[in-house]
Structure 1
Amino acid sequence: MNRKTVVLVEPSFYGVSFAKAAYKKGYKVVCVVSSVENPTVYGYEDVFHDLIEADIRDVNSVLKAIKESIYYNKIDALIPATDFASAITAKVAEELGLKNVTYNAAFLARNKDYAREIYKQHSVPSAKFKKVQSYDDALIAAESIGFPVVLKPTNAASSQNVFFIKDKENLYNSMKKIQEFKYTYMDFNVRDEYLIEEYLDGNEFSVELFLLDGKPILSVVTEKQTSDLPYFVETMHVLPAPINEDLEEQITLTALKALEAIGLVNGPSHVEIKVTSNGPKIIEVNGRPGGDNISSDLLKLSFGLDVFENTVNYYTDSPIDLSKKHQKGSAIAYLTSEVEGELLEIIGDKEVLEHENLSRLEITCNPGDRILIPQSSDDRLGYVITVAETSEEAKIIADQLISRLKILIKREHTQVTS
């Protein structure tokens, strides 16, 4: 019996876990890539069998490359392994007659302004918003909504160029910066249309979901912490969120309503929400498993669940099992700096590594690197992942361990400890 062929479009970041899952199942793993160097760049050089090179930003290029490959008409599953290529992958899958998320749903999940329009039409609780292109447009929008507001790109990620705007001067300076932001990860274009949104004050959560025909077979709420304003960098995730059942239900129902509105009714999703004084409101919907180690680590540690394996199962029409194998709490805390300068050293890791509740410690920077006060996820310096009997315990331990890591920085000929 021939083994199944799974084609992944540009595995990167969270999407590397798709390659690992498919490879572990014994499938033939073929990756459509923008560069043959990418398996090394993103760390999946040992879990694929072949590459197809194409411009992953272009539907026709990906379709042509697949049709000209030896795998044409032999593909069992075509899976987007980066959310930037999700809409393109959906369109290619439609052309090839393969199971897929609809192009419209994938497009809406990637373009925040169009999604906001749909939420408004379907009465999904969401922020007030205006789409703008210039400072003049932005000022009119901000004054209409009322300061403070949030300025963000319509199709970027990882909190890149997301600004908290408190006044006109702040808006003017931030518009200049965001208009210079032309390309995001893997050279995907950043649209020259931006969002001015109502600032949602409240605690932030995400919902990790897996749907089949609109019905959730997995639903877990994650608690988040973010950096101090004016930025929105995520600094901690706790799973499951230590909240009461009533609030969990409200958050989940809001997420499901948003997914139904944009037509994302099958497969994994990661929905970000703020709980305001007027109840839960949608920040954004992502048609993929949660990144930031939520799906790759926390769901496994807390419940023994593998969303990536089950996504591969979904696309290959194999049995899906998302039943919880156990009940624990887990957390990830990110290392960030309060000052800028040249990294000399990070100390304290030996003590952290000895802790019995530590699942993993990763330092993602090196001596000599330029260190910034975090403005996006790219500016984080590492993380600790913890597991315990309860979420509260895992959260406390993660906070304690990350605080034991001391960042030594050279700033203007002065050594600083952060």
Structure 2
Amino acid sequence: MSVTVKTVAFVEPSFYGVSFARAAFEQGHQVIAIVSSADNPRKYGYEGIYHDLLVADIRDEESIYEAIAASPYANRLDALIPATDYASHLTARVAERLGLRGVPYEAALRSRNKDLAREAYARHQVPGAKYHKVKTYEEAELAANEIGYPVVLKPTNAASSQHVYFIHSGLELQQAFSQIAQFKVSYLDFQVRNDYLIEEYIDGPEFSVELFLQEGEAVFSAVTEKITSPLPYFVEVQHTLPTPSYVEQEGDIIRTAIAALQAIGIANGPSHVEIRLSSDGPRIIEVNGRPGGDNISSDLLVQAFGVNIFEATVNYYLGQPVSIDKKHHRAASIAYVTAERDGIFERLDGFEQIEGKAGVVRSLLTVSPGDRIKVAASSDDRLGYVIAAADTPEEARTIARTLVDGLNIVYRKQEAEAEVV
């Protein structure tokens, strides 16, 4: 079947966004990457899967717009797709100016800013956490006392659990606030807002819902079980899809996720919604108006259901028919390697033997000898992963977790000797 070649631009493919560029490239479209640096294809791993680069300040709407207007692709783009969270609202605004399909700007802005999202959830009575937006420690202290400890302190526009604090007392709050106030710049040099959230801590297991909506209706949905690190951190250390636990409440979890999307104004396209299942039922943590990262969309959905959500999303942005049917029903899980203590990495014993084990899809080590490693406080601190697939979620989860738990981190001593921990 012949494919009509379209010109598709992505704003800063990175992390999950690399899969967007690959999907469009493999569909035969002309792929344009709008980037902050010509070094980014090499840095983020999408060399060879784009046709042209446009360099712009992706933190600035006007710069993105002018880069397109001054390029050979002015008035020729068929789609403009955000390929990083941080520029999603800016991309939406530029797409609106160009008359291209996309997430509405206000919806993208709410998705990108957790305080605006919380306000929308409250207006539409979507169950979530009690919260206050604060600027100063004094405001944070008042908010925490009103909500009641324990509470969570977090930035309003960061990601990957960066500077998210679990807090039991006023002293812990004071220490955490002094640290978060120094967090000024995040990924891709985006500025961190000087507004923070104090939220009620919601206990219970965590899930994400992978969704694709068309005119507000879910044409695809799947629930992922998320295992997080021991408190006080919230680092995701394993995802299993479909969820092996609380399957009888999947319907309630999905309905809450869709209600959250409707509240912030997303009616079409992919989304990744994070939810905690409290004793009172599902409660919203946050919404991301894009496919799930952390290999959920790029690997787990493909292994479990044969679904390429990136290809479907490219088709949606192009106004073409979207096919997102589950082609088979299996399961997949990704388990991450994390350090139990701080130190200098030497090697990971047992890692070389993982490839070829039954059920293993892929494994990756993201650190090198001599790198400083630490107890994971955010997703950036993870050391690698193992992805496994099996006939059931329980099997996939067990294979991935068992293999990761069987690894031994060897730390380098100051004298360059190795010490096994």
- Amino acid of the structure 2 residue aligned with 1:389: D
Contact 1:112-1:284 at 8 Å conserved across structures: yes
Letter in 2 for 1:417: V
Indicate the SS of the match to 2:334: strand
**Kept after mapping to 1: 8 A contact 2:276/2:283:** yes
Query: Which amino acid is the alignment partner of residue 172 of structure 1?
Result: Q
Given that residues 4 and 28 in structure 1 are in contact (C-alpha distance below 8 angstroms), is that contact kept between their aligned partners in structure 2?
yes
- CA gap 1:100/1:172 in 2 versus in 1, 3 angstroms: same
- Decide whether the 8 Å contact of 2:370 with 2:412 is kept in 1: no
Tell me the equivalent position of 2:383. Answer: 381
- Structure 1: gaps of 5 or more residues: none
User: Paired residue for 1:109?
Assistant: 111
User: For 1:174, what is the secondary structure of its paired residue?
Assistant: helix
1:168 paired residue number: 170
**Which of 324, 329, 348 does residue 322 from structure 1 map onto?**
324
- AA aligned to 1:153 is P
Contact 1:269/1:286 (CA < 8 Å) preserved in 2?
A: yes
| Equivalence for 1:259 | 261
The alpha carbon displacement at 1:90 in A equals: 0.4
Mean Cα deviation higher: 23-32 or 346-355: 346-355
Show the counterpart of 1:338. Answer: 340
TM-score norm. by structure 1 comes to: 0.98
- The answer for the alignment partner of 1:133 in structure 2 is 135
Identical positions, percent: 55
- From 8, 12, 19, the counterpart of 2:14: 12
SS in 1 for 2:16: helix
1:17-416, aligned counterparts within 5 Å? Answer: 17-410=19-412, 415-416=418-419
CA distance 1:136–1:411, change in 2 (3 Å): farther
CA contact (8 A) 1:17 1:296 kept: yes
**Residues of 2 paired with 1:201 and 1:411: CA distance?**
39
- Matched letter for residue 315 of structure 1: Y
- The letter for the 2-side match of 1:344 is E
What SS does structure 2 have at the residue aligned with 1:323? coil
Structure 1 residues 110, 82: CA separation in 2 closer, same or farther (over 3 Å shift)? same
SS in 2 for 1:255: helix
Aligned length: 418
| Structure 2 unaligned spans of 5+ | none
CA contact (8 A) 1:340 1:411 kept: no
Q: CA deviation at 1:245?
A: 4.5
In the TM superposition, residue 2 of structure 1 has moved relative to its aligned partner by 6.9
Native 8 Å contact 2:364 2:384 kept in 1? yes
Q: Closer, same or farther in 2 for the Cα pair 1:78/1:318, shift >3 Å?
A: same
Q: C-alpha separation between the residues in 1 aligned to 2:21 and 2:247?
A: 35
The CA deviation string for residues 2-56 of structure 1, in whole angstroms up to 9 with x for no partner, is 7210000000000000100000011000011000110011000110000111000
1:344 Cα deviation from its structure 2 partner: 1.0
Task: Report the AA paired with residue 68 of structure 1.
Answer: A
Contact 1:340 1:409 (8 Å CA) reproduced: no
Question: Residues of 2 paired with 1:327 and 1:221: CA distance?
Answer: 13
Q: CA RMSD in A?
A: 1.2
Q: Which moved more, 1:326-335 or 1:314-323?
A: 314-323
Q: What's the offset of the Cα at 1:410? A: 2.8
Counterpart in the other structure of 1:417: 420
Deviation, 1:416, is 4.0
Q: Distance in 1 between matches of 2:150 and 2:82?
A: 36
SS at match of 1:299: helix
CA drift at 1:417: 3.0
Deviation at 1:356, TM superposition (A): 1.5
Maintained 8 Å contact 2:11/2:83: yes
Letter in 2 for 1:75: L
Instruction: Flag as ranges the 4+ runs of structure 1 deviating above 6 A.
Output: none
SS in structure 2 at match of 1:61: helix
Distance 1:233 1:2 in 2: 42
Q: Which SS does the other structure have where 2:194 is aligned?
A: coil
Q: Provide the C-alpha distance between the structure 2 equivalents of 1:174 and 1:410, rounded to a whole number of angstroms.
A: 30
Q: What is the SS of the residue equivalent to 1:353?
A: coil
SS of structure 1 residue aligned to 2:270: strand
Q: Which region of structure 1 is more displaced relative to structure 2, 203-212 or 396-405?
A: 396-405
Per-residue displacement from partner, 1:142-167 (whole Å, max 9, x unpaired)?
A: 00000000000000000000000110
